[in-house]
Chains A and B, each alone.
Chain A
Amino acid sequence: MPPPLLQMSGIEKRFPGVHALKGVNLTLQKGEVLALMGENGAGKSTLMKVLGGAHLPDQGTIQLEGENVTIESPVKARALGVSMIYQEFNLIPALSAIENVFLGQEITQNGLIRHGEEKDQTLALLSQLGMDFDPELPCRQLTIAQQQSIEIARALSLNSKILVLDEPSAVLTLHEVEKLFEIIHKLKQQGLGLIYIGHRLDEIFRIADRTQVMRDGACIADKDLADCTRQSLIEMMVGRELKNEFPLKSPSIGKTKLKIRNMTRGKAVQNISLKVRSGEILGLAGLVGAGRTELARLIFGADPRDAGEIQLDGKTLSVCSPREAIAAGIGLLTEDRKLQGLVLSHSVKDNFGLPNLNRFAPAGFVKTSIERREFQDYVTTMRVKISNENQKANQLSGGNQQKLVIAKWLARHCEVLIFDEPTRGIDVGAKYEIYQLMNDLAAKGKAIIMISSELPEILGMADRILVMHEGRITGEIEDVTSATQEEIMHFAVA
């Protein structure tokens, strides 16, 4: 029997504070489609980054067709025949399909590009994929599916043997997905090995031959799809039991605080209505890209909405900007702390003060004594570890950054707080403290919306759960204590 096309064995990868890959094995045969599955953060993308040359593994070997290789850069990966196609395309919008396909490997003679030959080859590659469009048009004028086919054509022009597709269907319409599957089928017949990362179970069952499920940085199952059922796949993905990760609480839920009606923005958020009561933690579950963050940003006024109404304590708000939302008493703790939550190059104290300057600077002049006192109070009670108040925010650990973000919003005394992935990238100890803070807030009668992709977290923290899928609410779970992760997953993959 010939050696497998790809054999990754015992891959270990550690980042500061995270053990991302714990001795992962992966095999891929010629002409096979392998579905790599797992929850967000299970280690799929890290593993693929190791394969693609973006990360060097700490330990472990990679064999291509039986030969040991070291993939130390994306360039090396491509040279070895490994191509990655991400959700975000790596195309230059102003260049044509031809120019993009041959970018960095132009066909030249005496220093001049042989355009005709490049065009012929591009057309051949595209027809091989069953695509038919003018390759001279700038990419930005093409549809998403056409752009995707350019990426694939580029991979083929490099004589790739392995193609990694990271959630390729997420950006496509139903019709385009069919087209993509045809392409995948053709590639398979040509003897390429494909690794398909995806969440949509229906699609996985249609195109993949085998699946490998990852959880917490380890590979926990490697099965032929013929031996799997929908149910067994979900169980494998979720897999773990709820331990005592979450603080106990006794919610006292009051009247409706925040009411959202018919909130809509394009396809990301479609006609969503919900309400949160005071003292309640509402969990928003769903897969990445389900529209949860987009919904939160609409409520907060960070993006303009096409339609929809926001009511706080029975009064309709005309929120059109974060400034107005904050003034009305709504706070948003963004998913991306570094880019949206903090001004990293500024001091921790200034970051804390930013949304609160209205209070700290009543006449325009910042009263540093008040600011400093409150800052010290919050930092002490929340146990944010800082060396001094002038320390730059980028020097804090993830957990402390998150606590700092929470502190600045607590000081603002918001009535409604939206936590978007509040514990992403945070170690277990700090997670518990953040849960405790959320419970305390709820106990004080605040209304809380918690967006989380970690199912145990949603089940452990929320008093009620809404599940979103492709911009819509697909399920509501009133009785959280008896709910299961499988139940949420069913709604989330719709």
Chain B
Amino acid sequence: MPKSKKQHLTHLLTEYGMILVLILLGIFFSLVTLTEQRPSGKKAGLQIASIVKKRFDKDAHILIASRNLAIDKNFYDALSGSLTSAGFKHLHSVQGTPRDARAKLIELENQKIKLQVILGNQTTADWLVFEDIKLNFPQLGAPTRIGPSPYKWPNFLKKDNLLNITNQIAVIAIIAVGMTVVIICGGIDLSVGSLIAFSAVLCCLFIQNTAGGLDANAGGMILACIAAIIITGLVGSFTGSMITAFSIPPFIVTLGVMMMASGTAYLMSGGESVYRVPDSFVWLGREASLFGIPNAVFLMMLLYSIAHIMMSRTQLGRYIYAVGGNAEAARLAGVPVKWIQLFAYTLSGLLAGLGGVVMASQLKSGAPTYGQMYELYVIAAVVVGGTSLSGGEGKIFGTLIGAFIIAVIQNGMNLMNIESYTQKVILGMVILIAVLLDKLKQKKFQTS
């Protein structure tokens, strides 16, 4: 029987709906944040160099103005390097403040130099000292001023902003891997938010008290992180064994563990932030060591790849889907249902522990207030990603898309200066729409 148009639309909406939503959101926020941009740093330098090469002789006297900043240094290096190699002989430069620029102009005037062009980046090209050059320094001639030319580009699509989104979502996305497995397995884990705080505090306490505090070395810090992750994983195992051994509903068990973990985090830290950790502790959360990808983002991608293979290619993954799809049928087919459930909650605990460590590293401290409400954002990411809360269905990469949708909405609304109360309302609506899509999917399943 050929599919009707309506069926096709439903299929499209359910199978690819979330990617589509993400793309549409991206386009929307790109359009509304489209603003005038000026290149800076190296890019600006090269742009100006190419203009100069076209318009001026090699003998022209050129002044390059820049500030004492790293980004201006890049600008200057790129610009002067390019011009020198193109054969420009008379390059003058000033690095510093407008006052330094005035001194330089006086100096050039004294040398009786006719200046043809002044080059600057988006700030220095507009310095006042260059405005009235004809009046104040008539001897210098009438130099042209060239700054980087503006262009239109959305703030949303700037590289820094995109990296910012991924970096911010890393913690939620990492924990959402474990949550996806738990939900596909037919359960739910409300404790992950508290476990973030638990793990972050634990990790920082280990570094502060055992690994040498501010002088801790890399090895000590790594051990502290691993210890925190493993202990949090054991909490997950405890959750799992309560659920499997006594058949208590997961909602109740994880609610209890959530409170216990949060309370323990406050007790361990005395209610305060644990911050006496070395500066190098931020390596995981803030730095980027591979192709400019932040380490946390790299870790996230790695975990998603592993989890995807686990869920789609291994026996374990098949068993997880089967347990969530029909636990009794799975048991009668020889699936060790309880072990699978125990595994899922342990994994969720381990990943919540890892998320806590990443967050501690990002914020360079561990506080019991971390991760509040995160369990709900994580569940939202999983659900928006198309995983059915009734279990047995869902895709790991769907969750990543779900996490991105939430992050993009938050980020886009920040860029649009929407205040946080409105943001919450909109975010809630998006989650409802996602669940509606899930229902549509189930309806399709029932009618076909």
Contact = CB atoms under 8 A, between A and B. Distances in A.
Interface string B314-339: 11101101100110111111111000
Contact of A354 (B313, B314, B333, B448): B333
Interface string A298-323: 00101000000000000000000111
A323 B325 contact: no
B16 to A, nearest CB: 17
Report the contact-size class of chain A (Cβ under 8 Å from the partner): 20 to 34
Contact of B322 (A343, A364, A392): A343
A300 B332 contact: yes
Contact of B318 (A325, A332, A354): A354
Contacts of A368: 313
B445 A343 contact: no
B334 A326 contact: yes
A332 to B, nearest CB: 6
Nearest to B323: A343
Given A342-B326, A394-B445, A395-B448, A357 B315 contact: yes
B392 interface: yes
Given A394-B445, A395-B448, A341 B315 contact: no
B325 A392 contact: no
B314 A339 contact: no
B8 to A, nearest CB: 18
Contacts of A323: 334-336
Contacts of A326: 333-334
Interface in A308-365: 321-323, 325-327, 332, 334, 339-346, 350, 353-355, 357-358, 360-361, 364-365
Nearest to B446: A394
A350 B330 contact: no
B393 interface: yes
Interface string A400-437: 00000000100000000000000000000000000000
B315 A364 contact: yes
Contacts of B328: 339-340
B321 A350 contact: yes
Interface string A355-394: 1011011001110100000000000000000000000101
Interface in B319-368: 319, 321-322, 325-326, 328-336
A408 B333 contact: yes
A358 B314 CA distance: 11
A322 B331 contact: yes
A350 B335 CA distance: 13
Contacts of A366: 313-315, 318
A343 B392 contact: yes
Contacts of A350: 318, 321-322
Contact of A327 (B322, B331, B334, B445): B334
Interface in B365-416: 392-393
A345 B393 contact: yes
A373 B326 CA distance: 25
B316 A364 contact: yes
Interface in B53-111: none
Contact of A344 (B318, B326, B334, B336): B326
Given A302-B331, A340-B329, A392-B445, A346 B321 contact: yes
A367 to B, nearest CB: 9
Nearest to A334: B332
Contacts of B445: 345, 392, 394
A325 B331 CA distance: 11
A361 B392 contact: no
Contacts of A364: 314-316
Given A302-B331, A343-B392, A354-B333, A365 B313 contact: yes
A325 B333 CA distance: 10
B315 A361 contact: yes
Contacts of B392: 343, 345-346
Contact of A343 (B314, B326, B336, B448): B326
Contact of A346 (B315, B322, B448): B322
B341 to A, nearest CB: 14
Contact of A365 (B314, B322, B326): B314
A488 B96 CA distance: 106
Contacts of A355: 333-334
A49 to B, nearest CB: 21
A329 B218 CA distance: 53
A340 B325 contact: no
Contacts of A339: 326, 328-329
B200 to A, nearest CB: 32
B332 A322 contact: yes
Contact of A322 (B315, B316, B319, B334): B334
Contacts of B335: 323, 354
Contacts of B448: 392, 395
A358 B408 CA distance: 42
B340 to A, nearest CB: 11
Given A345-B325, A350-B321, A340 B332 contact: yes
A395 B321 CA distance: 19
B398 to A, nearest CB: 16
Interface in A231-268: none
Contacts of A357: 315, 318-319
B331 A343 contact: no
Contacts of A365: 313-315
Contacts of A321: 331, 336
Contacts of A346: 321-322, 325, 392
Nearest to B325: A343
Contact of A332 (B321, B325, B332): B332
A171 B326 CA distance: 29
A341 B322 CA distance: 12
A281 B362 CA distance: 68
Contacts of B330: 343, 354
A366 B312 CA distance: 9
Contacts of A395: 448
Interface in B217-272: none
Which of B318, B322, B332, B448 has the largest number of chain A CB atoms within 10 A?
Answer: B332
Given A343-B392, A345-B392, A395-B448, A322 B314 contact: no
A340 B315 CA distance: 20
Contacts of B329: 339-343
Interface string A192-209: 000000000000000000
Contacts of B326: 339-340, 342-345
Query: Which of B326, B329, B445 has the most A CB atoms < 10 Å from its CB?
Result: B329
A408 B328 CA distance: 16
A217 to B, nearest CB: 28
B202 to A, nearest CB: 31
Contacts of B333: 322, 326, 354-355, 408
A354 B322 contact: yes
A321 B336 CA distance: 9
A57 B313 CA distance: 49
16 contacts: A321-B336, A323-B334, A325-B334, A326-B334, A340-B332, A341-B329, A343-B325, A345-B326, A346-B392, A358-B315, A364-B315, A365-B314, A365-B315, A368-B313, A392-B448, A394-B445
List the 6 closest pairs (A to B, CB-CB), nearest first.
Answer: A343-B325, A361-B315, A326-B334, A355-B333, A343-B326, A357-B315
Interface of B: 313-316, 318-319, 321-322, 325-326, 328-336, 392-393, 445, 448
Given A345-B445, A353-B318, A360-B315, 9 more contacts: A323-B334, A339-B329, A343-B321, A346-B321, A354-B318, A355-B333, A357-B319, A364-B315, A368-B313
